[in-house]
Amino acid sequence: MSLTESIHDKITTPIVKIPDSSLKTGIYDLTKEELSQRIELREGVSIRYLTPPDRRRWLLDRFLLGSDLTFLYGYFRQIIIARQDALKGKFFDPRWIELSGGILDLIEGCQGKFQIENIENVVSPKGPVVFAGNHMSVLETFVFSYFLVPHRRLTYVVKESLIKGYFGPIMRSRDPIAVGRDNPREDLVKVLEEGVNLLKKGISIVVFPQSTRTRTFNPAEFNSIAVKLAARAGVPVVPFAIKTDFWQNGKIWKDLGSLYRDRKIHMKFGPQIDTKDSRKAQETLLNYVLTNLKEWNVEILSEQK
């Protein structure tokens, strides 16, 4: 039995109950702690998380005058400890949530402002799903787990280098689907075969249908691998759109770029998409991503004149 299967039931976070007062506004704002907990939905109430306006900046970040040093220190500290846990066979789902929350807290401590919308669409599907959307930076890979894993077993489709390098022990403990990205056909076959098997076991999968992380978005590079996987497994796709260029991709080491503190962090999840008609599902998924990226003024390459 895999780690993601065997340990998930040991998550013991309390259930968040939406108060009656939220029925008037139609919105319930989660606290950071509630964001990592299971949620009891209420019809007509949308759920979101906004970084509190009074969120205090870390004292060390103030002392270091807003350089990247505070972030680098906090980041490597989190990763080193998590890697040690993984090597000891102790990096289970509760620890994954803790690591993800630590990175989110670090980002907010360095002036990051989150706006995570329509979380009810994460919670509402009854069985496993394929989460699919654009990929902008390593930020979403770390932070998603904080509010996805409490609700469902989860893994990612990742590039092979991530399971072999320094992050390897952590990534391998999550039972990911690793692809080489040199041969798209081989990658597709692997994702379909391993992905269907995982979905049948009740494990949801996050897929980024792009060849690489990028601040801009090119619809032509947004392939249909997520929809094909979901269709073959008979599960829905939950679409998402993200703007996470607060943490830019690095020029030398792509997983470690600089912070751009004036850029708000957006994450938004849409209603589940039925995949019986694959072509229609792909169009719906792509349109969801495009609509939100345009709203956030993300550059769409294909629309350049």
pLDDT higher than 90, residue 182: no
Segment 231-243 mean pLDDT: 98
pLDDT higher than 60, residue 272: yes
* Sign of the alpha-carbon torsion through 126, 128, 134, 135: positive
> How many C-beta neighbours within 10 Å does residue 92 have?
19
Confidence band of 259 (pLDDT split at 50, 70, 90): very high
Share above pLDDT 70 across residues of the chain, in percent, rounded to a whole number: 93
Which region holds residue 66: left if phi is over 0, alpha if psi is between -120 and 50, else beta? left
Q: Against a cut of 0.75, is the pTM above it?
A: yes
Confidence band of 3 (pLDDT split at 50, 70, 90): very low
Segment 168-193 mean pLDDT: 88
Segment 181-188 mean pLDDT: 81
Alpha-carbon separation of residue 40 from 119, 154, 163, 269, 302 (angstroms): 12, 20, 35, 17, 41
| pLDDT at 251 (0 to 100) | 66
| pLDDT at 216 (0 to 100) | 94
Lowest-confidence segment of 62-66, 81-85, 248-252 by average pLDDT: 248-252
Segment 232-239 mean pLDDT: 98
> How many C-beta neighbours within 10 Å does residue 11 have?
18
pLDDT higher than 80, residue 256: no
| pLDDT at 7 (0 to 100) | 47
Q: What is the mean pLDDT of the chain?
A: 91
Would you say 22 and 45 are in contact if contact means Cβ atoms under 8 Å apart?
A: yes
Would you say 131 and 206 are in contact if contact means Cβ atoms under 8 Å apart?
A: yes
pLDDT tens, position by position, 190-228: 999 999 999 999 999 999 998 788 999 999 999 999 999
Segment 41-64 mean pLDDT: 96
Segment 221-248 mean pLDDT: 96
pLDDT higher than 60, residue 15: yes
Segment 185-194 mean pLDDT: 91
pLDDT tens, position by position, 96-150: 999 999 999 999 999 999 999 999 999 999 999 999 999 999 999 999 999 999 9
pLDDT higher than 70, residue 10: no
| pLDDT at 227 (0 to 100) | 97
| pLDDT at 210 (0 to 100) | 87
Strands 38-40 and 15-17: parallel
Segment 236-249 mean pLDDT: 95
| pLDDT at 303 (0 to 100) | 56
